[in-house]
Chains A and B, each alone.
Chain A
Amino acid sequence: AQKVTQAQTEISVVEKEDVTLDCVYETRDTTYYLFWYKQPPSGELVFLIRRNSFDEQNEISGRYSWNFQKSTSSFNFTITASQVVDSAVYFCARLDTGRRALTFGSGTRLQVQP
């Protein structure tokens, strides 16, 4: 199975710190899609970003930014000036192009302390 690895199980930071969540993926596909989802304490899964393998430009959305590097098979997520509302579990996922279903990493729990 082509895995998605989020090695950081839990990260704790103080508000206003920057934090980077790591994601490493395996794939044999030439074209593939990567995703990040946020799961706040309320439990729902919130879509954050989708990235295509042929677009290696980094993306920024407000305090969120994503660094996609095919050479290291990584798709890391950085939150700048973290806030308490950022406290959640964050999942990285890769699209299985056969089933068109997602393979998830095990998630990183981020706790932002006030």
Chain B
Amino acid sequence: NAGVTQTPKFRVLKTGQSMTLLCAQDMNHEYMYWYRQDPGMGLRLIHYSVGEGTTAKGEVPDGYNVSRLKKQNFLLGLESAAPSQTSVYFCASAGTSGDTDTQYFGPGTRLTVL
């Protein structure tokens, strides 16, 4: 089991460019999340999904869009990147049985917007 994987690991964008971050999980988890981590702060929730085809806004959703077309994948899109979106992005997933609600995280994507 690979667990939760994220692509890419690093990316540098110019202001106004767009990109998509891919998160994939092989644990058959229902819930998936995107968080961002900024220096001196804990992780903050951007968007989340409680199942295939569903998405919802988190704490800091502005400037991001998401899609969950397949249960195992959760995509985070930046349509027009801004320097304020420079951050480390973490994807997580959690199941609804066994260790319910324990979130397992991907390795992170370090994004720099110039």
Does B associate with A? yes
| Chain A residues with a Cβ under 8 A of chain B | 4, 9, 33, 35, 37, 43-45, 47, 50, 91, 93, 95, 99-107
Q: Are A100 and B50 in contact (CB under 8 A)?
A: yes
B102 and A105: CB pair below 8 A? no
- A47 to B42 alpha-carbon distance, docked (Å): 15
Beta-carbon contact of A44 and B42 below 8 Å: no
B47 to chain A, nearest CB (A): 10
User: How many angstroms between the C-alpha atoms of A102 and B41 in the bound complex?
Assistant: 14
If the complex has contacts A100-B94, A101-B33, A101-B58, are A43 and B42 also in contact, measured as CB distance less than 8 A? no
A4, A33, A104: the one within 8 Å of B101 (CB): A33
Interface size on B, residues (CB 8 A): 25
CB contacts (< 8 Å) of A93 on chain B: these are: 42
Per DSSP, chain B at the interface is: strand
Q: Is B74 an interface residue (CB 8 A)?
A: no
Interface residues in B87-108 by Cβ distance below 8 A to A read 88, 90, 92, 94, 99, 101-105, 107-108
Q: Is B45 an interface residue (CB 8 A)?
A: yes
Please give me the residue from chain B that is nearest to A96 by CB atom: B45
Residue B43 interfacial (CB < 8 Å) = yes
Instruction: Name the B residues within 8 Å of A4 (CB-CB).
Output: 42
CA distance A99 to B101 in the complex (A): 11
A4 to B42, CA, bound (A): 10
Question: In the docked arrangement, what's the CA distance between A95 and B44, Å?
Answer: 13
CA distance A9 to B39 in the complex (A): 12
Query: Once bound together, how far apart are the Cα atoms of A44 and B43, in whole Å?
Result: 12
Closest to A99 in B: B48
- B56 at interface (Cβ–Cβ under 8 A)? yes
* Distance between Cα atoms of A85 and B34 in the complex (Å): 28
- Cα A84 to Cα B59 in complex, Å, equals 35
Chain A residue contacts of B94, Cβ below 8 A: 100
